Chains A and B, each alone.
Chain A
Amino acid sequence: MTPATGHLLEVTYFVAAVLFILSLKWLSSPVTARRGVWAGEVGMVLAVAGTLLHRGIVDYKWIAIGLVLGAIIGVPLGNVAMTAVPQRTALSHAFGALCVTLVGTAEFYLRAPDVPPFVMSVLSLEVILGGLTVTGSLMAAGKLQEILPQRPITFKGQNLVNLAMLAVAVAIAARLVMHPEQMFLYPFMVGIALVFGVMLIVPIGGADMPTVISLLNSYAGLSAAAMGFVLNNKLLIVAGALDGASGFILSVNMSKAMNRSFTNVLFGAFGQVQTAVAGGVETRTARSASAEEAAAILSAANKVVIVPGYGMAVAQAQHKVRELYDALTKRGIDVKFGIHPVAGRMPGHMNVLLAEADIPYDKLLDMEEVNPDFPQTDVALIIGANDVTNPAARTDTSSPIYGMPILDVDKARTVMVIKRSMSPGFAGIDNPLYYLDNNLMLFGDAKAFVGDIVKELSGGGAHG
C-alpha cells in the first residue's frame, strides 16, 4: 500500500467511526433520527469507497458481483411490511453473522498453520459467536414467519446437552490456539457452533422472541468486533462494540420486562416459565358490554389510555384504532397509548405499528411514563393485550408472572378489554383483571369491535 492511499483508507475509517457514533446519538430523538440514518449511510459509503482503493485488491470482478447482488437482495428486504419487521431483523442478524463467519473461515485457511495464539483465540470467538448467530437467527426468523412451529420444543437434559456442546466447541478452540496446524479441527468447531445455534432457539416460544432477537443482535455485534481484532480493523471494532452494546441493553430491558433474571437471558435458557398451567376452574363471572355501551362510556370520559398488544397487530386493527383515536380526540378527549416493552414481537415494534397508522409519537407512552397516569384515567381500553395487564403480577406471589412489571390498568376508573373469549394469554395464566368490578369485557374481533365503537361514536354525535 502506498503511504498516500494507506493514510486515505485510515482517514475514511476514522471519519466513518465518528459518523457511526453520531448516527446512534441522533437516533435518540425522533426529531433528529433521520439525520442519524443519513450519517450512517455516508459513513458506510466512505468506508467502502476507501476500502476499494486498498492496494492489495487485484481483481474487482467478484467485489462488483457481490455488491450488486447484495443490493438486489437488500432492496426488497428493506421494503417488507411493518408487521414483518421482526423476522426481517432476525434474518439480517443471520446475514451479518454469516458475513463474519465466512470472513473468519477464509482468514483461518489463508493464515493456517501459522496463526498466532491471540489471533486464533479471537478468530475462534468470532466464528463460534457468528456461527451460532447464523443458525439461531434463521430459526428465530422461521418461528416469527411461522414457517417453523412457534411452540417451544423441550426435552429432558436440554440445557446439559447445550452446555456440553458449547464446552466442546470451546475445547476445540483452545486446542486450535495451541496447535493451529491441526486444521482438521476447524470445521468441527464451526459445525458445533451452527448446531448449537439451532438448539438454542428450539426451546423458545413466540412470546419470548423480543428477548431472543435482542440477544442475537448482541452476539452478531460481538462477533463483528472479534473480526475487527482478527483483521486489526478499528472501525469494525467500533461498529461491533456499538451493536453489541445496543443488543445487550435491549436484552436486559426485555428480560426485565419479561421478568427473567439476567443470567437466565445471558445463557439463553429462557422459555421455561411457559410450561405453567392455569389454576383451578374459574367460578367468578365477568361483566360484558356492547359496542354501544362502550361508546357511551368512552364519550363521557376526559382521559382515555389505550393499551395495545400484539393481538391488535394480528387482527390488523391499527387503522381502526387510529379512527377511534380521531373520533375521541375530536370530542376533546385526551387519548394516549400505554405501551409495554414486550407489546410487539421485538423491542419497540408496537410503536412502529402505531406510527404507521399515523398516530402521533408524542401520544405513545412507555410503561414508566403511563403508569402514574392510570389513577386519573377514566377509561383504560385494552386491545389484544393480556399478560402485561395482569394484576396478579403485582399481588399473587404464586403466579408464574409474579414480579413482572405491568401496566396498572386496573387503577383506571373503568377498564374495557376487547378480547375474543375468556381464554388465557401466551403464558397460559388466568387474568383476575377480568373479574374486577370496574372491568367490562368487550367480546369480539379487535378490528370489528373497534370499528363498531367508531360507528357508534360518529352516529351518536347528535346526542352529544
Chain B
Amino acid sequence: MIKADLISSLYVFMLAAFIGFEVIRRVSPLLHTPLMSLTNALDAIAVVGAIILAGERKSNLATVLGTIAIVAATSNAVGGFIITDRMLKMFKSSRAPKP
C-alpha cells in the first residue's frame, strides 16, 4: 500500500468510527439484539476479500482458505439478515393497528 492510500484509509476508518458511534448511540436499548445481529451481517462484507482469493487461483492454499472464508461469511450474511428481520417483525406498537 502506498502512503497516500494509507492516509486516506486512516481517514475513512476515523470518520466511519465517529459515524458509527453517533448513529449507534441513538439506537434504543429496545433494539440492541437486532443491532448486534445486523452489524454482524454487515461485517460479512469481508466475503468480498474471500471471493477474490478463491477466484484468483494464485495458490491452492489461497483457494482453499478463500472458499472456507466464503462459506463462513455468506452464512453470516444470510443468517444475520434473516434473523434480524424476524426479530424486527415482532416489534409492534400498541398504538398502531394490528396487522
Contact = CB atoms under 8 A, between A and B. Distances in A.
Interface of A: 16, 20-21, 23-25, 27-31, 33-34, 36-37, 40-41, 43-44, 47-48, 51-52, 54, 56-60, 62-63, 65-67, 69-71, 73-80, 82, 85, 88-89, 92-93, 95-96, 98-100, 102-103, 105-107, 109-110, 116, 118-119, 213-214, 217, 220-221, 224-225, 227-229, 231-250, 253, 339, 341, 344, 346-349, 351-352, 355-356, 358, 360-364, 366
B40 A243 contact: yes
A136 B29 CA distance: 25
A21 B26 CA distance: 13
A344 B29 CA distance: 12
Contact of B51 (A63, A88, A250, A361): A63
B66 A361 contact: no
Contacts of A100: 46, 69
A16 B44 CA distance: 13
B33 A234 contact: no
Contacts of A66: 50-51, 54, 66-71, 74
A249 B25 contact: yes
Contacts of B82: 74-75, 78-79
A236 B48 contact: yes
A93 B94 CA distance: 34
Interface of B: 1, 5-6, 8-9, 12-13, 16-17, 19-21, 23-59, 61-63, 65-95
Contacts of A20: 42, 45
Nearest to A349: B33
Contacts of A102: 50, 65-66, 68-69, 72
Main secondary structure of the interface of B (DSSP, over half): helix
Contacts of B20: 24, 241-246
Nearest to A116: B1
26 contacts: A24-B35, A24-B38, A24-B42, A27-B38, A37-B88, A40-B41, A48-B48, A66-B68, A74-B74, A96-B72, A99-B44, A99-B72, A106-B66, A116-B1, A217-B36, A220-B43, A239-B43, A241-B17, A241-B20, A245-B20, A344-B33, A346-B33, A347-B33, A347-B35, A351-B30, A360-B95
Contact of A92 (B24, B29, B76): B76
Given A62-B66, A232-B5, A241 B52 contact: no
Given A34-B88, A82-B87, A103 B50 contact: yes
B89 to A, nearest CB: 7
Nearest to A35: B88
B26 to A, nearest CB: 5
B34 A27 contact: yes
Contacts of B5: 232
A241 to B, nearest CB: 4
B36 A21 contact: no
B46 A99 contact: yes
A45 to B, nearest CB: 9
B40 A119 contact: no
Contact of B24 (A62, A109, A246): A246
Nearest to B48: A51
Contacts of B32: 250, 253, 346-348, 351
Nearest to A94: B72
Given A106-B65, A249-B25, 6 more contacts: A37-B88, A43-B42, A48-B51, A52-B51, A73-B71, A92-B37
Contact of B79 (A92, A213, A362): A92
Contacts of B55: 54, 56-60, 62-63
A366 B32 CA distance: 12
A48 B47 contact: yes
B52 A24 contact: no
Nearest to A357: B90
A355 B90 contact: yes
A191 to B, nearest CB: 16
Contacts of A236: 45-46, 48-49
* Residue of A75, A79, A229, A239 with most chain B CB atoms under a 10 A cut-off: A239
Contact of A225 (B13, B42, B70, B90): B13
A358 B6 CA distance: 49
B23 to A, nearest CB: 5
